[in-house]
Structure formats: structure tokens, C-alpha cells
Amino acid sequence: MPKYIFVTGGVISGIGKGVITGSIGRILQSSGIKVSVLKMDPYLNVDAGTMNPIVHGEVFVCDDGAETDMDLGTYERFLDINLSRHNNITTGQVYMNVLQRERKGKYLGRCVQIIPHITDEIKSLIRHAARKDDAQVLIVESGGTVGDIEALPFLEALRQMGVEEGHDNVIFVHVTLAPIIEEVGELKTKPTQHSVQELRRIGIQPDIIIVRAKRKLKEGNREKISLFTNVPKECVLSSPDAKSPYLIPQILEEQGISKILFDRLKLLHGDTNLSTWNEIIKDIVESKREVHIAMIGKYAELADSYVSVNHALCHAGGALKSKVIINWIESEELEGAKSRVEDLKNYDGIIVPGGFGSRGIEGKIIAANYARINNVPYLGLCFGLQLAVVSFARNVLGYSNANSTEIDPETPYPVIDLLPEQKCVDELGGTMRLGGHNIIIKEKTKAYDLYGSTKIRERHRHRYEINPMFWDSLQKGGLVFSGFSDDMKRVEIIELEEHPFYMASQFHPEFVSRPGRPDPLFKGFIQACITKRDKAI
């Protein structure tokens, strides 16, 4: 029978509940326990795929093609497991299931209500995930903050499960924020007290409180929180700001979290041993040799929009004992008469990440061309491949106004075009080419040198591809196609032979990169950046 850890949040959102959830998972996993994770998101979207990453953070793609909340990426990176569609539930999904059942007459004669029908559906999806993943422990993170109207059915479902599964099988962890008033330097516990009161009002008494704050809680802070919340002092834990989220498992374990969980959940377990994890993380956090990367995008694109790319770069840096410094370059500033393209000479490598739509694309095309002619390592991710091909067509083949039909449907040289199966797609939710697909790698290419295999699997999220009508001319012009879909119908990787590192993928290698196991494309790219930097010194 699976045990459940329910993680709720208080005070404000965006305080790193996902990292704490992933960290708890990693700690338990290191004791030999089979852990899985589920994220519940209170919004009405059926999945995260239709949401704006600039506002909501990156859309993470699972191997099965699910477009999910970015926390699933955090869990995959902490636990080194592959999650799927059933690991992320939203209000939209829950209501859709219930309403479809209602239309089929499955509730005939009854009035369909939030309690019990919506809450029953939530409980059933949670239990289904635990079964499907064969988890000894399922950690369930409830998105949003206690007190949000839209999160209420989820919290109610968790409360009910606490009763139904029994005391030894469920534990509630509440994550809050303790602000520090700068002028007085005092850490305030009142918001934590209030958010626990709110939680108790709906019938949930937390067993563990984890307090995020700039610094560590003092004894007095913990005593006060304990007194006001009915949580024993040793279960009030501190999660101070850390240099890297990957340090959180160790920080929580030093405060004895695994013992609290084991005792309470009566779990049979081995010794908790984070040494392998800490060893990997040490290289990510402590490496000093710097490499400076230019990421070409829009300033508006928060760090969170490309969170997996940022992590993948750190993983590759760690594996090569280097610290990757990411510099955002506004792509529109590379365009026109006042172009800052020459500034790109200050960087060891250039990345054009994934994206949609036309604003700023000319700057990205210019950056791809700059990298090609100046022998600067270039990594293009999905859109970054497509724009590198456009740049190649324009500048090497002389196809003026070559473009992707996503940007210019009337272009005389549509070198990037809609995937054939996309031509009759009219709904936008979940209809891109998504998720893991097998890829064939051509021998005697850089891609083969990096992956060391002719068969790999990577994750996708796109509607456009290199137009097969232009394969011949692009290849004759010197562009190497080194990876293909397994039916050989689409190009997955491009590279240039006479260049230190010019590679781009139609897939998103960032989604499978893990600490200690960077994706080969990122590792190859960072290695090339290091080589360039060493030569320059």
C-alpha cells in the first residue's frame, strides 16, 4: 500500500515548493524507497501547453508527450526518473473527466457536486498515479497557496485522503515564507502562523512545516512557530536561501527530515545516503572556471521560461568542472543599423533556444550567422535549428528572404514548413509533435561522436520542420544532416563540418538532462566553449 506525503504552500507562491518536494523525494530515494511525484495545478487549463511561459514558466514536456507544469522538470531532475501525463493533474482535467461522465449518464439521478464528485475524482487520480508508478511513497504537491478559492477542492481531497488512508500512511508538509524586515533585521513568523490557521480551518493539521527565509531560522523562531501551530519544534524546519536548489536535500536532511518521515510513516528503509548526489552537486556548485554563454531571446522571457535550458547548461558545466554564466541578449538589439552583433565576440558560445512567433527572429538569424562565420560555438534548440537553417539558406545558398512559413507564409524559399500531419490540425491544445521519439544518428558525424550511438531518444515540441523540398540544396551547400526521425522522414540534427561546434536539434535536449548525466549536445557545446576560451587566453 503506498504512503502519501502531501505538500501544501502558504503565504505566497513561487517560494520553491517544487524544489522542496523534489528534495524530499531525493532524500527518500537515497534510502532505497521507490518514490514518485504528482503535481496538482488549480487552473482550468487542461494542461500547461496553452499557457504563456513568460507568465507561468516553461512548459515541460514528458516522454509520453504530456505538456506539463515546470515543476515536473524539477522532480525529474531531482529524482532522475521519467514522469508522465498522470503525474500532473489540473482542475481542467478533473472537471473534464467528471463532466464527460455526467454526459454519459454515469451519475444518473444524482446531483453532481464539487463534494463528493470533484473531490472523489481528485482522490482517484492521486491513487491511480501511485498505483501506476508502483510507488512506495507518492509525494503530492498542491499548487498555489492555502486560501486560494480554486485550490480548495484539492485541499479538501487531501484532507479526506488523510482520514481514509489512515494516520500512518499520510503526512502533511506545509511550506511557508518568513519575510525579514530589512530595517530591523527581524524574521517574521506571523504569516506562517496565519497560513497554518487557514489550513487548520479546512481541517488539515500540518505535521511538518518548512519555512523558506533569507536565512536560517533561529531556535526562538522555531519555538514560536511550534507554539502557534501545534507542530513539534523538531518538525519546524528551515530552508534558507541557498547557492543552488540542488543543495536543499542536504540542508533538509541535516535537520533530520528523513527520520521524521520514516518514524511517522512507519517505512522500512535503508540508510539515507546523499553522498552520490552531493558529489555530483559539488561540481555544479563549486566549479570556478567560467564559461560565458550568450542566450539570444527577449528580455521579457524570465529565467523561468527556459528553466530546463539553464539547468542543462549547469549540468554540462558541472560535468566539465566549469561554471556556466548565462547572459541574456535581447535579439532585437542585434537587428538594424544600431546592431550590437559585435558584442557577441565577448562570449564563448551562443544559444538560440526554442520559441514561437516572429518578434525578434531577425536578431536570432543574425546571431546564428555570426556564430557560423566567426567560428563561435553555436547550439540551436528547436526554433534555434529552424532559424539556423533560414540563416544558412539566406547567407550560404543566397536564397534572399528565405524563411519559415511560421514567420512568413509567402516566403519564396520556405526552408522551414509545417509538418505534413499538422496541415489539418485546427485545435491548439496538445496537438504539436510532442514528446519522446527515437532518432537515428548518422555515423562519422559530430552527433555520433557525442552520443556514441546510432539510436537515441529525445523529446519534442514543434509544428514546423526542415522542408524536405530543400534537403538536397541545403546538403549540397554544406549543411550536414546528422540525425533523422526513425522513419527517416524528418531531420532531427544539423551540424557543420568545418566549424568548431555548430549544432542544432529539432528536439529539446534540455528536457532529458539531469545532474551528473548532462545531455551530450549540451556537454559537447560547453566543451567547445571551454576550448575556445582556453585558446583565447
What is the nearest approach in angstroms of ligand GLN to the Cβ of residue 88?
A: 19
What's the rounded Cα separation, in Å, for the pair 521 and 500?
A: 13
User: Closest CB to ligand GLN among 348 and 406?
Assistant: 406
- The grid coordinates of residue 105 equal 449518464
**Cβ closest to ligand GLN, residue 459 vs residue 523:** 459
Choices 40-48, 329-337, 351-359, 483-491; region in contact with ligand GLN by CB under 6 A:
351-359
Length of the chain: 537
Indicate whether 382 belongs to the interface with ligand GLN (CB under 6 A). yes
* Region 126-165 residues binding ligand GLN, contact defined as CB under 6 A: none
* Residue 356 in contact with ligand GLN, rule: CB under 6 A: yes
Q: How far is the CB of 519 from ligand GLN (least distance, A)?
A: 16
Q: Taking the mean position of all CA atoms in its chain, how far away is CA 28? A: 21
Question: Is residue 33 classed as helix, strand or coil in its secondary structure?
Answer: coil
What is the number of alpha carbons within 13 Å of residue 37 lying toward its C-beta?
Answer: 31
Do the bridges between strand 403-404 and strand 414-418 make them parallel or antiparallel, or are there none, so unpaired?
A: parallel
Alpha-carbon span 236 to 207, nearest angstrom: 9
Q: What is the 3-state secondary structure (H, E, C) of 50-84?
A: HCCHHHHCCCEECCCCCEECCHHHHHHHHHCCCCC
By CB under 6 A, what part of segment 390-419 binds ligand GLN?
Answer: 406
**Pairing verdict, β 491-496 and 502-505:** antiparallel
62 catalytically annotated: no
The correct pick among 57, 65, 153, 355 for binding ligand GLN (CB under 6 A) is 355
Between 181 and 424, CB nearer to ligand GLN: 424
Of 507, 508, 383, 503, the C-alpha closest to 450 is 503
| Cβ pair 98, 121 in contact under 8 A | yes
If one asks whether residue 461 binds ligand GLN (CB under 6 A), the answer comes out as yes
Cβ-based nearer residue to ligand GLN, 52 or 275: 52
Question: Under the criterion CB under 6 A, does residue 51 sit at the interface with ligand GLN?
Answer: no
Contact flag: residue 364 with ligand GLN (CB under 6 A): no
Is 309 an interacting residue with respect to ligand GLN (CB under 6 A)? Answer: no
Pick the stretch among 23-31, 47-55, 209-217, 352-360 that binds ligand GLN (CB under 6 A): 352-360
The Cα–Cα gap between 351 and 353 comes to 6
Q: Least distance from C-beta 464 to ligand GLN, angstroms?
A: 3
| Site stretch for ligand GLN (CB under 6 A), options 85-93, 148-156, 445-453, 456-464 | 456-464
Nearest residue (CB) to ligand GLN, 25 versus 355: 355
Which candidate in 382, 465, 492, 495 is catalytic?
Answer: 382
Size of the site for ligand GLN (CB under 6 A): 10
Q: Could you give the C-alpha distances from 485 to 162, 205, 306, 440, 455, in angstroms and in order?
A: 47, 51, 25, 6, 10
Residue in this structure with the C-alpha cell 482550468, named with its chain if needed: 44
Active site residue 219: no
The set of catalytic residues is: 382, 508, 510
Which residues are near ligand GLN by CB under 6 A?
354-356, 382-383, 406, 461-464
